[in-house]
A and B are shown apart, each in its own frame.
Chain A
Amino acid sequence: MDKIQLMICSPLEAELVERIRAVAPDRVEVSYESDLYPPLRYACDHKGVQTFKRTEEQTARWQANLEKAEILLDCPIPKEMPGDLVHLKNAKWIQFTSSGIGEFVKRSGMDKSDLLLTTARGVHSGPLAEWSFMALLMYFKKFRFLEAEQKAHRWERYCDEEVAGRTLVTIGAGDLARGVAVVGRALGMRIIAVTRSPEKPREHAGVFDEIHGVSELHRLLPQADAIVCTVPHTHETENMLDRTAISLMKPGVAFINTGRGSTIDEVAMIEALRNGKMGFAAIDVAQIEPLPNSSPLWDMPNVMINPHSASTVTSENAKITDIFCKNIALYLRGEQSQMTNIFDKQLLY
């Protein structure tokens, strides 16, 4: 029997490649020819340096591997369709290394294909919750004030504030919101989730104090001391936090965006941050990425900017590999429905 061809399409540490090879060495042939991948810009980079070009000979090998592959870890994401995707002749399953693939799936037409798609959902929720609470603690515990006092060598006792007892609204009730809620609850916060599908059965529903539909958003916004936005870009989330929504927020609210920049009206957000309507924003995403050099956000003291790396921690690839290896075993046993993180092509997440 011919072996199933598995191709790793983005840079991966050698020890993790070996772990994938070890899942079923007699049934699966893993292709990872290290000269075919771009050098990394940072640890756990899935794209690598953009100037990287394969030689003709390398390109031929790369394309030949793509053509043979039935299983792919990650997928070449071309700037213009279809790009390298035309070489996917035998592909049946793609395990992505990110979670927010809805836009790409639609753009590439994969939502209409028979391809089985799985995501890296769960891998990023921990790091994003960490970053969100780092930002929230910095804001509510008056970090900027402390910093200024320290600069002035001033020792004057003061009354601090707490995160405990405050209300946090998550936009979204999926895995990223779950990660935020677990920590928020432990820190004594009240957590309200707003989602398009409040009735959907969720194993983790209990981590939220309340779950409401998007139609309730405007009623809930005034209650929030903090808002954490975790949703992907879809036509429903686009501009969900528009000027009107911002005007309903509690004065001084802390806003964290780890979802997508398109969810909030960025111009209105900047205005609200300037006039104090919003007290603080920590953004991992922006309307245009990289955030243009001329964006006023860079110089605003009440804004924290993360270059879309809040989810990237050194253990990321190991966690993705965990998911992938388990999924490979299920795939080989024909238990595809049991696989983790199957992407829903209708709901696009």
Chain B
Amino acid sequence: MSVPTADKLTIVIASPLETEFVDRIRAFDPDRFEVVHEEDLLAKPRYVADHNGAPRTLTADEQARWAACLQRADILFDIDRLDPINMPTNAPKLRWVQATSSGIGEFLKRTKLEDSDIIFTTASGVHARPLAEFTMLGLLYFFRDVQYLNQMKRAHHWERYTTPGLDGARVLIVGLGSLGREVARDCARFGVEVWGARRTQGGELPEGVTRLVDQRQLLDVLPEVDALVLACPLTDETRLLIDRPQVEALKRGAVIVNISRGGVINEAAMLEGLQSGRIKGAALDVFEVEPLPKDNPMWDLPNVLISPHSASTVAAENSRIVDIFIDNLGRFTRGEKLRNQFDKARGY
């Protein structure tokens, strides 16, 4: 069935994307969707799957061309980073934005875009695999005492020793969305006793999880876990979910991994715990302020692993986001609910 041109929907690619993926979007249903990809108007990626690109200024002529693109857009692949707040007016026909990030709740709230009629879908799930790998690296690094091994290596010292190991340890994962569930599965393979916390109670236990904990009652369980993995979205409910009393309730020698958002944990309290050694170590991909300020003491702590919010970024990222987008184009056509649709009430 051929669709009259007037009924065609225009997709505008709004952040850097490899040509092969643009072509995949084009090829999906060319009768129904027209894809606009003005590569020279988009930012230049600094690394594979960079969605922001190097800072740029458009000339007056380029600005006019970009404005014309937005005027036509029914669907945006990624948020317009040049003027996100005014997307509803700059793109009057805009019905749906496919974001390239998973955690957009904060952004939509700040920009008040959550109050618009535009549908937002996230890239939730895309980052789960690499973030789970980062989590396992962080846990293994501290449970297997790599720091100690490194010291022994520097000293050319061969002496047998014993580590606690991850097998048999108890890990609490806060947030059991696609991210937390992926981490739970991996942990269970390593013989970890996995407890999970989420906002809703009841329902089935996700794979690998042996005990469900109420997200609002973490104080009771934190003294009993050997590690805490933060994998929840940042919402009003989760902001400072791990505040000072929670940090201080953690078992002595516990390990923290944060792959959620910096705002979920009281960073000052965590820093104190890490400095005193009460917290054994932390593997952190996110911080309260990003980029992490140069003079933040966290940089120099030997028991902290810092990733510059890049643990989720892998070469296959764009291909996986485009998979979601194409799946969603089909659902959009059929009038079905989109995958990863942002829910204002939940905040993710």
Q: Of the candidates B129, B149, B165, which one forms a contact with A164 in the assembled complex, judged by CB atoms under 8 Å apart?
A: B129
B residues 173-231 with Cβ under 8 Å of A? 185-186, 189-191
Residues of A within 8 A of B294 (CB): 153
Given A141-B133, A157-B47 in contact, is the A130-B310 Cβ separation under 8 Å? no
Residues of A within 8 A of B149 (CB): 304-306
How far is it, in angstroms, between the C-alpha of A182 and the C-alpha of B190 when the chains are bound? 9
Contact B189 A160 (CB under 8 A): no
Q: Of the candidates B133, B153, B308, which one forms a contact with A137 in the assembled complex, judged by CB atoms under 8 Å apart?
A: B133
Q: A293 on the interface (CB 8 Å rule)? A: yes
Contact A312 B162 (CB under 8 A): yes
Contact B167 A289 (CB under 8 A): no
How far is it, in angstroms, between the C-alpha of A46 and the C-alpha of B311 when the chains are bound? 40
* A12 vs chain B, min Cβ distance (A): 14
Q: A332 on the interface (CB 8 Å rule)? A: no
Given A158-B310, A183-B190 in contact, is the A314-B163 Cβ separation under 8 Å? yes
Q: Write the chain B residue with the least CB distance to A132.
A: B140
Q: B95 on the interface (CB 8 Å rule)? A: no
Q: A14 on the interface (CB 8 Å rule)? A: no
Q: Of the candidates A44, A45, A158, A165, which one forms a contact with B47 in the assembled complex, judged by CB atoms under 8 Å apart?
A: A158
How far is it, in angstroms, between the C-alpha of A308 and the C-alpha of B162 when the chains are bound? 10
Contact B305 A130 (CB under 8 A): no
Contact B144 A315 (CB under 8 A): no
Q: B27 on the interface (CB 8 Å rule)? A: no
B residues 270-292 with Cβ under 8 Å of A? 290-292
Q: Write the chain B residue with the least CB distance to A306.
A: B149
Contact A187 B133 (CB under 8 A): yes
Contact A298 B167 (CB under 8 A): no
Contact B162 A44 (CB under 8 A): yes
Q: A340 on the interface (CB 8 Å rule)? A: no
Q: How many A-B residue pairs have CB under 8 A?
A: 156
Residues of A within 8 A of B333 (CB): none
Q: B313 on the interface (CB 8 Å rule)? A: yes
Chain B residues with a Cβ closer than 8 Å to the other chain, count: 56
Contact A137 B140 (CB under 8 A): yes
Residues of B within 8 A of A187 (CB): 133, 136, 186
Q: A162 on the interface (CB 8 Å rule)? A: yes
Given A155-B291, A315-B168 in contact, is the A138-B137 Cβ separation under 8 Å? yes
How far is it, in angstroms, between the C-alpha of A183 and the C-alpha of B314 when the chains are bound? 21
Residues of A within 8 A of B186 (CB): 186-187
Q: Write the chain B residue with the least CB distance to A40.
A: B162
Residues of A within 8 A of B137 (CB): 134, 137-138, 141, 143
Q: A39 on the interface (CB 8 Å rule)? A: no
Given A137-B133, A293-B156, A313-B164 in contact, is the A158-B308 Cβ separation under 8 Å? yes
- List 30 A-B residue pairs with CB atoms under 8 Å apart, sorted by A's residue number: A43-B162, A45-B162, A130-B140, A130-B167, A134-B137, A134-B144, A134-B146, A137-B137, A138-B141, A146-B307, A149-B308, A150-B304, A155-B290, A156-B308, A157-B309, A157-B310, A162-B130, A162-B133, A186-B189, A188-B129, A291-B158, A298-B153, A304-B149, A305-B153, A308-B160, A309-B162, A309-B163, A312-B163, A313-B167, A315-B168
Those 9 A-B pairs whose CB atoms lie nearest each other, nearest first: A313-B165, A155-B291, A290-B158, A134-B140, A159-B48, A43-B162, A137-B137, A186-B189, A307-B158
Q: Measuring CB to CB, which residues of chain B are less than 8 angstroms from any residue of chain A?
A: 46-50, 129-130, 133-134, 136-137, 140-141, 143-144, 146, 149, 152-153, 156-168, 185-186, 189-191, 290-292, 294, 299, 304-317
- Further 14 A-B residue pairs, CB within 8 A, beyond A45-B160, A134-B141, A307-B160: A41-B159, A126-B190, A137-B140, A143-B137, A149-B306, A158-B47, A160-B130, A160-B310, A188-B129, A290-B159, A305-B153, A307-B157, A307-B158, A315-B165
